[in-house]
Structure 1
């Protein structure tokens, strides 16, 4: 019932012919881009459904059976705030039947990245403050699902604001996550740990791997609040220090460093709450960073006080609420 509520078709195994038909034989016009996790294509299935297809070339010889536990995990990646899994396809060598390529099929998210709605000068489509809070809640819910909604959980997802896609209803969806299958295809093993101190032991790194995603979420939240990207880890630290200083000051000072597009449409309490949780997510000691559940609670508090402020405010600033009733509850998908 939950899967049906997402409006997604059942997970299935596709044939290579299905995908060739959907992409006009992987024509260059269907090509979206290429990264460390394979080539991406946009396709249209025979029933009219648009999909995103990730093509992975395998570096070692494996049987289809050796990948089935990966595929089982992939098939469970269905959540309102993820670019959800729709199916897979194995292409095998004719001589030994080992897998040469794997295709992972995702729902297609049509409305661009979160950054394009915040930091790239598109003032005519800049998200309002309530919409930014809603997007932040959605991202946090997606992270929570990756950590706790499937077994084993998926951690250290190297989340970037360009990995957050907006659907036609401006619902935020995480489009890239740390699947072991993707690491194997790239010849890599293990998680990214740049958001953890270098002197941590291996056991401590495992204990704090959920806090890597919390740090990355803080970087995304920083851009959502300030309206400008951070070019480097050092740049993030400089902006975080500025934020930490102004959190303890007055309303006018806090608003002065926020994105000009939202300065008049946010309540002081919601802005302060968002700044506080952002600063905590970016703490250098992973033990001091909040849990995803703590992040969600604070974001939902910011949403509630913003909603109350909009109800009481006589301002003509954008104050429409994009929140679904589910956004004001902490969900365990």
Structure 2
């Protein structure tokens, strides 16, 4: 066996960097493995064909502009969502390496995590005709079902709503800072937030090249607001777009009815703004009746004020994602204190201020 010093001398800097990257990837994979998320890998066509019963129509769960989404079962029993993307132009497999590397980084407890991919190629020149992207399957539908539509006649409690909002904000935070480059201007809607077996929120959409959807407004969509001139940095502009979209989601969480247009946003935001200078009773009258009795006024006022700031027309007035998370956590703590006090009958809720 060669001396240790000789072995180190023969390791190139590029190889050392690769080892460090792999170590970070293995560390992250181990963390996600504990959450039940399978390691990212390349699939072969036969695996996906078997998983979907030859892409049977009974397994079709969604239609998109450039393909379909199928539900499938891997051989180990893992339930997955397989997204088919038809490529408009002919490129080699190598051309997609960087984009797939970005997708492989979508691994977070509050994102619908990527599990792998598979290529379908043209027979004549081996260029890619279709890419299949495999994601974890999230079974409990959208957040909208639990806040404005009512799932099986039941809606989320106020505490559950704050928790879901925190989880969405943490997912956005990871998209911005947990991967390089970050994914900004993600055009998120409440229907892009899915709920897993334990009703934890997971974002199912982001602005990466292979995953970015048409920028046109979908039916029921609301556009991000703001002028680029109001913000010195394009990155900051894009971050604040996501904060605005989060504000629209938070608005629906508060009022408990579908928000489907900019007009809805404007009217509802004005009502929230007026409620901040009103009394407790008036403020509760605008909240979803399913939860208005249970939420503490301090918690409700904190969430309303945060929502109004997120929806500001001025980008500079919108909070950062970190501020969003901090204030939601404060609202959750105040609500929890109120709940504990009501159980023990020892006093009134903790008072707090919003900054």
Counterparts of 1:202 and 1:100, CA distance in 2: 40
Q: Among 29, 35, 45, which residue is 1:16 paired with?
A: 45
Distance apart, 1:3 and its partner CA: 2.0
Q: TM-score, normalised by structure 2?
A: 0.83
- Structure number with the bigger relative contact order (C-alpha 8 A, sep ≥ 6) is 1
Which residue in the other structure is 1:6 paired with? 35
Identify the match of residue 337 of structure 2 among 304, 308, 316: 308
Q: Does 1:266 align with 2:277?
A: no
CA distance in 2, matches of 1:187, 1:296: 29
SS in 1 for 2:148: coil
Deviations 1:93-120 (A, max 9, x none): 1111111001111100001111111111
> 2:82 — aligned with what?
53
**Which of 182, 189, 197 is residue 153 of structure 1 equivalent to?**
182
- Which of residues 267, 270, 276 in structure 2 aligns to 1:247? 276
Secondary structure in 2 aligned to 1:157? Answer: coil
Unaligned 5+ segments in structure 1 are 317-333
Q: Check the 8 A contact 1:156/1:193 in 2, yes or no.
A: no
Q: Aligned-pair distance for 1:138? A: 0.3
Moved over 6 A (4+): none
Confirm whether residue 137 of structure 1 aligns to residue 171 of structure 2: no
- Structure 1 residue 181 displacement after superposition: 1.6
Q: CA deviation at 1:168?
A: 1.2
Q: Which residue of 1 aligns with 2:9?
A: none
**In 1, Cα distance between equivalents of 2:104 and 2:331:** 34
2:261 to 225, 228, 232: 232
- Tell whether 2:140 aligns with 1:116: no
5+ residue gaps, structure 2: 1-29, 216-220, 346-355
User: Which residue matches 1:72?
Assistant: 101
Aligned residues of 1:193 and 1:212 also touching (Cα < 8 A)? no
* Correspondent of 2:310 among 278, 281, 303: 281
Instruction: Let me know the Cα RMSD of the aligned residues.
Output: 2.2
The 1:50/1:199 distance shift into structure 2, 3 A limit, reads closer
CA gap of 1:204–1:91, structure 2 versus 1, over 3 A, is same
Is the Cα–Cα contact under 8 Å of residues 222 and 262 in structure 2 kept in the other structure?
Answer: no
Q: How does 1:291-306 map to 2 (within 5 A)?
A: 291-306=320-335
Cα deviation for residue 20 of structure 1 reads 0.7
Given that 1:111 and 1:168 are in contact with CA atoms closer than 8 Å, whether structure 2 keeps it comes out as: yes
SS of the equivalent of 1:119 reads helix
Alignment partner of 2:135 out of 64, 85, 106: 106
Which residue of the partner structure matches residue 42 of structure 1?
Answer: 71
Structure with larger Rg: 2
TM-score, normalised by the number of residues in structure 1: 0.89
Aligned pair in 2 of structure 1 residues 187, 63: CA closer, same or farther (>3 Å)? farther
* 1:124 aligned counterpart, secondary structure: coil
